[in-house]
Amino acid sequence: MRILLLGPQGSGKGTQAQRISSTYGVPHIATGDMLRAAMAAGTEVGHRVKPIYDAGGLVPDDLMIDLIRDRLSHPDAEDGFVLDGFPRTLEQAEALDDVLLEIGSPLDVVFDLQIDEQTCIERLLGRAREEGRSDDTPEAIATRLQLFRDATLPVIEHYRAQGKVVGVHAAGTVNEVFNEIQEALEQVGAR
């Protein structure tokens, strides 16, 4: 099962992706986690992305596309994955479609986690207090949500045109949202 999660920052993509990953036994591929690991390890990529990341900006498409192409070629992603944080731009979406076409395994479903922006902001500020992520400052949060509207909403439309998008009510509890996702996955599996 190849699953993509889309939704604004604070919509719960990471949390739901982990639940999907452990329930269905597919790897959780999160570009934000990959970048944080690169920064923590002090790699060249890590140094390059740190200022962009901290400001809440978007890392250049070519770098992200190389990163994801490499990750999807690992054997654990052969039978499926749940993708979180990529693609965030139309260019990334087209590159992902090409990579998946090459390996003959297109996305099965794209979940659109729908939630109001105020709830997202409250969740992100709560997370900032708990985890101290360097991009959870009010300024970087505003930039990230703006980039979601400008760069990532067109990605949802791109996949809607492919008939792959399933909307999910993302303001509920973790269990409520996961139940909705599971019901949709059963229907996708059955089709």
Q: Cβ 179 to ligand ADP, closest distance in Å? A: 23
Considering 13, 19, 123, 149, which one is annotated as catalytic? 13
Phi, psi angle pair for 10, to nearest 5°: 90, 0
Residue nearest to ligand ADP (CB): 32
Q: How far is CA 82 from CA 26, 40, 110, 122, 143, in A?
A: 7, 23, 10, 26, 25
Q: Is 88 a catalytic residue?
A: yes
191 alpha-carbon distance from chain centroid: 25
Residues in contact with ligand ADP by CB under 6 A are 9, 31-32, 35, 52-53, 56-59, 64, 85-86, 88, 92, 135, 144
In the bound state with ligand ADP, the residue whose beta carbon lies nearer, of 32 and 80, is 32
Q: Is 127 a catalytic residue?
A: yes
Q: Is 50 a catalytic residue?
A: no
Q: Please check whether residue 4 is in contact with residue 83, taking contact to mean a CB–CB distance below 8 angstroms.
A: yes
Residues 135 and 154: their CA atoms lie apart, in Å, by 23
Considering 50, 69, 71, 127, which one is annotated as catalytic? 127
114 alpha-carbon distance from chain centroid: 13
In the bound state with ligand ADP, the residue whose beta carbon lies nearer, of 138 and 189, is 138
Q: Is 69 a catalytic residue?
A: no
Q: Cβ 85 to ligand ADP, closest distance in Å? A: 3
Considering 36, 69, 123, 133, which one is annotated as catalytic? 133
In the bound state with ligand ADP, the residue whose beta carbon lies nearer, of 77 and 188, is 77
Q: How far is CA 35 from CA 19, 54, 56, 115, in A?
A: 21, 11, 13, 25
